[in-house]
Amino acid sequence: MGLLLSLTQQEVSHPYRFSGTGIQVYSFEEVLYHVYHYWKQSVDDVTEPSLVAWVTDTLGLTRIATKMNEVAHIEQFSERMLAFLEIAPYFSTMELAALKPDLIKWERRLEWETYKERADDLVARGEPAKSIALYRRALRHNENVRLLNNISVAYMQSENYAEAVNALGRALEINDEEQLAYKLTLNYCEALILAGLLERADGVLSQLEATAGEAADLLYMRGELAIRQDERRAAISFFERAIELADENNEHYIFSLADIYARNRQFERALELLAQKGSGSVAHLVKVAELHSLAANVPAAIRTMEEAIEQKPREVELWIKLARYHRMNYNLEQAESAIARALELDNANDRAKLEQARVQKGLGRIRAYQGLLRGVLAGVKGRYRGAYS
The mean pLDDT of the chain is 89
Q: Is the pLDDT of residue 290 over 60?
A: yes
The pLDDT tens digits for 45-75 are: 999 999 999 999 999 899 999 999 999 999 8
pLDDT at 386 exceeding the cut of 80:
no
Q: What pLDDT digit, counting tens, does each position of 366-385 carry? A: 887 788 778 766 654 444 43
Greatest Cα pair distance in the chain:
70
Q: Is the pLDDT of residue 10 over 90?
A: no
Contact between residue 190 and residue 167 where contact means Cβ atoms under 8 Å apart = no
Residue 110: pLDDT over 80: no
Question: pLDDT for 255-280, tens place per residue?
Answer: 999 999 999 999 999 999 999 887 78
| Residue 94, CA distances (Å) to 2, 35, 84, 97 in order | 14, 16, 16, 5
Lowest mean pLDDT segment, chosen from 7-21, 270-284, 290-304: 7-21
Amino acid at 208: L
Mean pLDDT to the nearest integer, 236-246: 93
The region that residue 340 occupies, defined by phi over 0 for left and psi between -120 and 50 for alpha, beta otherwise, is alpha
Give the separation between CA 68 and CA 108, rounded to whole angstroms. Answer: 24
Q: What is the DSSP string of 284-305?
A: HHHHHHHHHHHTT-HHHHHHHH
Asked if the model's pLDDT at residue 35 lies above 70, the reply is yes
Q: Is 112 left (phi over 0), alpha (psi -120 to 50) or beta?
A: alpha
Contact, 21 vs 75, CB < 8 A? Answer: no
pLDDT at 7 over 70: no
- The DSSP result for 81-93, as a single string, is HHHHHTSSTTS-H
